[in-house]
Amino acid sequence: MSIATERTISETRSVVRPDVVGEQAYGIVRDLYPICRSITGAGVRESLRQLQGIVPLTIQQVASGTPVLDWHIPDEWNIAEAWIQTTDGTRLVDFRNHNLHVVGYSQPIRKRIPRDELLRHLHSLPEHPDWIPYRTGYYAHSWGFCVPHALVEQLTAPEYDVCIDATLAPGQLNYGEYLVRGRTDNEVLISCHVCHPSLCNDNLSAIALAALLARELSALDLRLSYRFLFVPGTIGAIAWLAQNESAVRRLRHGLVLTCLGDAGGFTYKRSRRGATTTDRLVEHVLAHAGEPFSVRDFTPYGYDERQYCSPGFDLPVGRLSRSCHGEFPEYHTSADNLDFVTADALGGAYALLLQIVEAFESNRSYYNLLPKGEPQLGRRGLFGAVGGTDRAAHELALLWVLNQSDGQHSLLDIAVRADLPLPVVTAAARLLEQQLLLAPCDC
């Protein structure tokens, strides 16, 4: 049996070098950046194929038109080229220069149109005249371009030629899925959205970290199973939920990962229920991680936690990011580029993810097998022999674990009450279990 020879997450965490992993993650971001992704189409498929070089994920496919919950899988959108030209053929805007230039799911068009009509189809950011905004219209049956506002102000000619050479036709929705099997069927969901085109923080940062984490975990001896999803936002999560109700029932924890490469502190958004073990574990890890962080309550607006936390599922899924969508100026603009994310920030986020996984793995409940009075720890070599002085922290952890292990308190509960980091409490529990003073009361 291989388990004895595999490393635990705790052992792994102590040897992983965040700076090295940060550089690897940055490399993945850089490689995926040029690809034009949307909720369907060749870009997502190509991105998932590149991720298969890191971890052997499965590329799932769901045919256009398939009903999924209240939705239907839309037609597949693909784009070859797109531009705006002056009538004398000078190209003002070209999709080849930046894939944000075209509103996602734009319908094809090739036409000379008056300036006024063109303007109605342009999106720009007056407050950031050099940036290109990111806009989509999956169900809008329209077309549009996103351009720097500086350009809009130069459009003075009466007519322009526009071309969007796109197809919207039956095809498929794709998403990536990878399951790391642990010793139990109880699952942890790690989900990130893969539908955004050339935007680095949102969400190549999370895609890269999820892939590297999946690879790392696949080599470990784990108690829980870990399911990684690389899904197009909303429709992808809905498609997975529609087809995986049995996996849903095995879910013990879950995280939606987004925006993990910028310079901001960490943000944890609680699940709908607000105080699930997932929420409490992540908050405990953040509180002891020594980095700036904030925690916010659930709202039904955001990323795919909207779907996982819809009332019919109500899963223990929170969202982890650094800065939050809509709260940094570069959000959903061309400024969310390769300069905006750093290997340092990615490496720090990876280190935090390992701590969270370690917390998921170690949080169990135990019974004190000698609950009446304190067991004599000195006799067992667990306690200093000389009385009359104060006790060290690891001795306090032993006392806390014994005192609270009545089957009603998890190691997390104990760590919170004792104000000790979970790993210290977990180490104490391991010692006591070895001495037959403690037995787990869950699996």
Residues forming the site for a copy of itself (CB under 8 A): 69-71, 103-104, 133-140, 142, 234, 237-238, 241-242, 272, 299-301, 306-307, 309-314, 326, 332, 368, 370-376, 378-379, 385-391, 396, 399-400, 402-406, 418
Residue among 329, 267, 262, 342 at smallest CA distance from 297: 267
Q: Which is nearer to a copy of itself, 266 or 400 (CB)?
A: 400
CA distances from 49 to 212, 433, 439 (A): 15, 45, 45
For residue 222, the minimal CB distance to a copy of itself (Å) is 29
For residue 184, the minimal CB distance to a copy of itself (Å) is 26
Q: Which is nearer to a copy of itself, 307 or 321 (CB)?
A: 307
Q: Which is nearer to a copy of itself, 115 or 417 (CB)?
A: 417
Contact 216, 350 (CB under 8 A): no
- How far apart are alpha carbons 227 and 217 in whole angstroms? 11
Structure tokens at 275: 């105080």
For residue 322, the minimal CB distance to a copy of itself (Å) is 19
Q: Which is nearer to a copy of itself, 25 or 377 (CB)?
A: 377
Q: Which is nearer to a copy of itself, 192 or 237 (CB)?
A: 237
Contact 320, 268 (CB under 8 A): yes
Question: How far does Cα 363 stand from its chain's mean position?
Answer: 21
Q: Tell me 73's DSSP state.
A: P
For residue 340, the minimal CB distance to a copy of itself (Å) is 17
For residue 405, the minimal CB distance to a copy of itself (Å) is 7
**Sequence-separated (6 or more) residues with CB below 8 Å from residue 401:** 366, 368, 411, 414, 425, 428, 429, 432, 438
Residue among 441, 57, 214 at smallest CA distance from 44: 57
Contact 377, 303 (CB under 8 A): no
For residue 224, the minimal CB distance to a copy of itself (Å) is 24
- How far apart are alpha carbons 28 and 316 in whole angstroms? 29
Residue among 349, 184, 348, 187 at smallest CA distance from 258: 349
Q: Which is nearer to a copy of itself, 310 or 337 (CB)?
A: 310
Structure tokens at 52: 């298969």
For residue 367, the minimal CB distance to a copy of itself (Å) is 9
Q: Which is nearer to a copy of itself, 170 or 300 (CB)?
A: 300
Residue among 62, 136, 132 at smallest CA distance from 92: 132
Structure tokens at 100: 């944000």
Contact 363, 412 (CB under 8 A): yes
Contact 158, 115 (CB under 8 A): yes
For residue 167, the minimal CB distance to a copy of itself (Å) is 20
- How far apart are alpha carbons 49 and 214 in whole angstroms? 15
Structure tokens at 232: 């197009």
For residue 148, the minimal CB distance to a copy of itself (Å) is 16
Q: Tell me 150's DSSP state.
A: H
For residue 282, the minimal CB distance to a copy of itself (Å) is 21
Q: Which is nearer to a copy of itself, 95 or 138 (CB)?
A: 138
Three-class SS state of 93:
strand
Q: Which is nearer to a copy of itself, 87 or 408 (CB)?
A: 408
Write the burial class of residue 274 (CB in 10 Å: 0-12 exposed, 13-18 middle, 19+ buried): exposed
Q: Which is nearer to a copy of itself, 14 or 142 (CB)?
A: 142
For residue 120, the minimal CB distance to a copy of itself (Å) is 13
For β-strands 365-368 and 406-410, DSSP reports them as antiparallel
Radius of gyration over every alpha carbon of the chain, rounded to an integer in angstroms:
26
Q: Which is nearer to a copy of itself, 36 or 224 (CB)?
A: 36
